[in-house]
Amino acid sequence: MRSYKPYNLIHFNCRYIVVATITKINNVDNLNIVEFDFFGLTLRMMSLDLNDDVQIGKKARLVVKPSNISIGKNLSGELSLSNKIVATIESLENGQLLSSVVLRKNDTTFESIITVDSSKRMNLQIGDEVTILIKASNLSIWEILND
């Protein structure tokens, strides 16, 4: 089992892990767009280099930093962000400047760190259904699983 440990993940917590199955790999020169199945949703990751063990049909643990998870509420229209996951707010802690929003999709928990001003402006409440938004360039493979 080979690990991919992004240098910018200083604090690692299970909340930020997504287990998904690789369904497609698009490659042009050394640029890759990898698609994953996550509970019937397609997630996309942009990467410059891929190791040989990144193959269609394999499961992977994907990670994203909490500060790279945006939240949308009552969205309509199209967005350029590749990854949109409808989730429920499980907990919400407002500090002086930042808010920690814990979100759940099926058995997966995410944490988003946003400003308190955004949390208040959006009137976020526990139990609200919101949309998690993640850029393809902010999603990384932590490890490939050999089931």
Q: What is the CATH number of the domain that holds 115?
A: 2.40.50.100
Query: To the nearest whole number, what is the mean pLDDT of the chain?
Result: 88
Give the structural domain span for 24: 14-65+138-145
Same domain, 56 and 97: no
3 found inside a domain: no
Q: How far apart are CA 136 and CA 144, in angstroms?
A: 18
Number of domains in the chain: 2
Q: What is the pLDDT of residue 29?
A: 92
79 and 129 assigned to the same domain = yes
pLDDT digits (tens, 9 = 90+) for 23-40: 999 999 989 999 999 999
Report pTM.
Answer: 0.85
Residue matched to tokens 């992004």: 6
Q: Say what the pLDDT of residue 98 is.
A: 95
72 and 117 in a common domain? yes
Q: Are residues 79 and 123 in the same domain?
A: yes
Q: Tell me, yes or no, whether 60 and 73 share the same domain.
A: no
**51 within a domain of the structure (yes/no):** yes
Shared domain check, 60 and 30: yes
Taking the chain, what is the end-to-end CA distance rounded to the nearest angstrom?
Answer: 10
Q: Identify whether residues 72 and 114 lie together within a single domain.
A: yes
Is residue 63 packed enough to be buried (19+ CB in 10 Å), middle (13-18) or exposed (0-12)?
buried
Average pLDDT over residues 82-109: 95
Same domain, 89 and 58: no
Mean pLDDT of 105-115: 93
Assigned domain for 20 exists: yes
86 lies in the same domain as 59: no
